[in-house]
Amino acid sequence: MLAVPRTPSLPADHPCASCDIRMRTFCSVLDAAELEKFRCQGSTARIEAGRPLFHQGDPADVIFNLKKGSLRLYKLLSDGRRQVTGFLFPGAFLGLAVRDEHAFSAEAIEPVEVCRYTRQRFDAFVEGHPLMERELYRIAAHELAVAREQMVLLGRKTAVERLATFLLSLLDRVREHEPGADLIALPMNRLDIADYLGLTKETVSRVFTAFKTTGLIRLLADDQVLVLDQLRLEQVANGEVTFH
């Protein structure tokens, strides 16, 4: 797929000039005039930690772009069990749904800020901007790849392989913006991680401790992990070494 060109810096007085995520999201393909038109189609909203952005079953009639904070995506099963299906960070795009209702819930892990657009206005704008349409296609393709990786993770990997894979995926995300970084922030709690990896909270805590005692990571706090041995962590994730 051809790389989508990114817009140059905006004039200092442009409303979106100070946006931290502009070059990391779908609106990065718009020039200053187009971006102003697009901005006027929507609004911003702030959500407190623990509050929903939307619930499973709500009408899927609004599109969101995550500017600040992080979200957990989850689905409730008929017996009340929760399956966390993903975590989203600044620059993420969500709200497009195959059906008219959301198939999952989105909840703020920490205070978040989003740009929001009605589905009708969003679709109308995208129709007239092929580069933006192509960028959305790229995002959708990436989400499909992530979903396939999650199927492998839940279906075939052991507990230690799952947690190692999860930490490496977060490290990759950090390094997209901070090359060479080894520190991972974990805004989600251990139960969130357990529900995402298909494990118990106790198992997640036990594997974190094992990774720490064997020198793979250092736990600076409950929400910070320093990766000490990336190569061995990758070997664990790929099942290339026996981990005890």
> What mean pLDDT comes out for the span 151-171?
88
Reply yes or no on whether the pLDDT at 7 is more than 60. Answer: no
CA-to-CA distance for 91 and 100, rounded, in angstroms? 24
Confidence (pLDDT) at 146:
80
> What mean pLDDT comes out for the span 1-27?
66
Reply yes or no on whether the pLDDT at 4 is more than 50. Answer: no
Q: Please give the order of strands across the beta sheet that includes 224-227.
A: 183-185, 224-227, 217-221
> What mean pLDDT comes out for the span 129-154?
80
- CATH 2.60.120.10 positions along the chain are 22-151
More confident residue, 138 or 7: 138
- CATH 1.10.10.10 positions along the chain are 157-237
Q: May I ask the CATH architecture of the domain 157-237?
A: Orthogonal Bundle (1.10)
Reply yes or no on whether the pLDDT at 183 is more than 90. Answer: yes
Q: How distant, in Å, are the alpha carbons of 121, 207, 229 from that of 39?
A: 11, 45, 43
Q: May I ask the CATH architecture of the domain 22-151?
A: Sandwich (2.60)
Confidence (pLDDT) at 2:
39
Tens digit of pLDDT for each residue in 34-92? Answer: 888 888 888 999 999 999 999 999 999 999 999 999 999 999 988 888 999 999 999 88
Structure tokens at 123: 């679709």
Confidence (pLDDT) at 9:
65
Reply yes or no on whether the pLDDT at 1 is more than 70. Answer: no
Tens digit of pLDDT for each residue in 111-136? Answer: 999 999 999 999 899 888 888 888 88
More confident residue, 136 or 168: 168
Confidence (pLDDT) at 10:
67
Mean pLDDT computed over every residue of the chain: 88
Query: What pTM was computed for the model?
Result: 0.86
CA-to-CA distance for 20 and 43, rounded, in angstroms? 17
Reply yes or no on whether the pLDDT at 144 is more than 90. Answer: no
> What mean pLDDT comes out for the span 194-211?
96
Reply yes or no on whether the pLDDT at 236 is more than 80. Answer: yes
Are the C-beta atoms of residues 208 and 163 closer than 8 Å to each other?
A: yes
> What mean pLDDT comes out for the span 166-188?
92
Confidence (pLDDT) at 191:
96
More confident residue, 225 or 27: 225
